[in-house]
Amino acid sequence: MTGPGGRPRGARLRAWAELLRLSALFTVPGDALAGASAAGLRPNRRTALAIGSSLCLYEAGMALNDWADRDEDAVDRPHRPIPSGRVTPRAALAASAALTATGLALAARAGRGPLTVATALAATVWAYDLRLKHTRAAPAAMATARALDLLLGATATAANPRTPARPPAAGAPPRPPARRPTAARGTPPGPTTTTRHRPRRRPPAPPPAARRGAAHRVPATAALPSAALLGAHTYAVTAVSRHEAHGGSTAAPLGALAATALLGALTSRAPATAGTGHGRTATLTAAAYLRTAAVPLLHAALNPSPPLTRRAVGGGIRAMIPLQAALAARSGARVTGPALMGLAPLARALARKVSPT
């Protein structure tokens, strides 16, 4: 079976899979879920909208990245979909625009706040691909994009949607305001009208876990520390990725290795209020993060060749999954951290077929 242009449909699908970096797509949902956990909230329908928005904006950035680099890739990486002629530049640009619009539409369904964050995220992605990628601001731009992605999940989960009142039926008179019943004249005071009242006992405050989901009580700014940690990891990985085509840099992998060690130490410690189970999960996921990111970075620092540098970048991308799981665990989420770790083997298996870089 052939598609447009006479190429086999399977070859076209593989070309788009390479263009969109499908193996790296598993690193995206954890941003929104870690953001919801950092805000002290359980994931809800608006979290799912944030995940959908993040996936679209991430893929828009991948397509736009190769469109912007098509001339450079024709020299350094001619095997990529656009320089090899498997995907046209016009199709890649159109896909990026359509994915951006879809991502913003999904964020708008989650609320005004999520739309604001998603708009800032989309602007950062387009600015990075079209202007900032080959400047010193590139790592900071990518770090900002990942941090905004986590904040998108926190903002969407914490959004308090307005539920408009149902209008009265046509022709029906307006309802009078409800009045509290009063005792009739001459009626002896009953239990409800006696002047002697007993002090009411307030129910005990629910534990923190029971308050999860009270979106209007928890500000999304509580997710800022987790966003900063995820942004720091992204900064380090992006600094290494700037040398993946030609290699030769030892300082970038060493700097990223030091940042990875620091982040692993910070995320392995859960707050005392999180409980023993959460602390153990945070320690295990932080160890998985260190193992995934640190080993290829060490190899690239010892031998900064292009293949080992690209492997270090790929390891840094996959390491975002255990990092997100550690951030969720240290925030007290019981299910999110282990659930995110289930994405790691899927990302590793797909990376063998489609490169994440």
Residue 186 has pLDDT above 70, yes or no: no
What spatial distance separates the first Cα and last Cα of the chain, rounded to whole Å? Answer: 29
pLDDT tens readout for residues 9-30: 789 999 999 999 999 999 999 9
pLDDT of residue 201: 61
pLDDT of residue 115: 97
Q: 266 lies in a domain?
A: yes
The first and second tokens of residue 193, run together, are: 């009208």
pLDDT tens readout for residues 91-105: 999 999 999 999 999
What integer best gives the mean pLDDT of the chain?
Answer: 84
Average confidence (pLDDT) over 330-342: 89
Q: 1 lies in a domain?
A: no
Q: Using alpha carbons, list the distances in angstroms from residue 286 to 32, 67, 99, 134, 238.
A: 19, 36, 33, 32, 20
Least confident of 167-171, 178-182, 281-285: 167-171
When divided into structural domains, the chain yields a total of 1
The first and second tokens of residue 49, run together, are: 């909208």
CATH number of 40's domain: 1.10.357.140
Per DSSP, the residues of 261-308 read: HHHHHHHT---GGG-HHHHHHHHHHHHHHHHHHHHHHHHHHHS--HHH
Question: Hey, what amino acid is at 24?
Answer: A
pLDDT of residue 204: 55
pLDDT tens readout for residues 227-237: 999 999 999 99
Residue 142 has pLDDT above 70, yes or no: yes
pLDDT of residue 143: 98
Q: 178 lies in a domain?
A: no
Q: What is the value of pTM for the model shown? A: 0.81
Q: 181 lies in a domain?
A: no
Question: What domain range is 93 assigned to?
Answer: 12-160+220-351
Average confidence (pLDDT) over 120-148: 97
Q: Which residue has the higher pLDDT, 169 or 228?
A: 228
Q: 214 lies in a domain?
A: no
pLDDT of residue 89: 97
Buried/exposed 78-89: b ≥16 CB within 10 Å, e otherwise: eebbbbeebbee
Confidence of residue 357 (pLDDT cuts 50, 70, 90): confident
Q: 346 lies in a domain?
A: yes
Q: 71 lies in a domain?
A: yes
Angle at 265 between CA 260 and CA 266, to 5 degrees: 100
Confidence of residue 333 (pLDDT cuts 50, 70, 90): confident
pLDDT of residue 192: 46
pLDDT of residue 160: 72
Q: Which residue has the higher pLDDT, 145 or 348?
A: 145
pLDDT of residue 326: 94
H-state helical runs in the chain? 9-20, 29-38, 45-68, 70-76, 89-110, 112-127, 138-158, 208-211, 224-241, 251-267, 276-302, 306-318, 320-330, 336-341, 343-351
Residue 161 has pLDDT above 90, yes or no: no
pLDDT of residue 275: 53
Residue 110 CA, chain-centre distance (Å), reads 15
Q: 231 lies in a domain?
A: yes
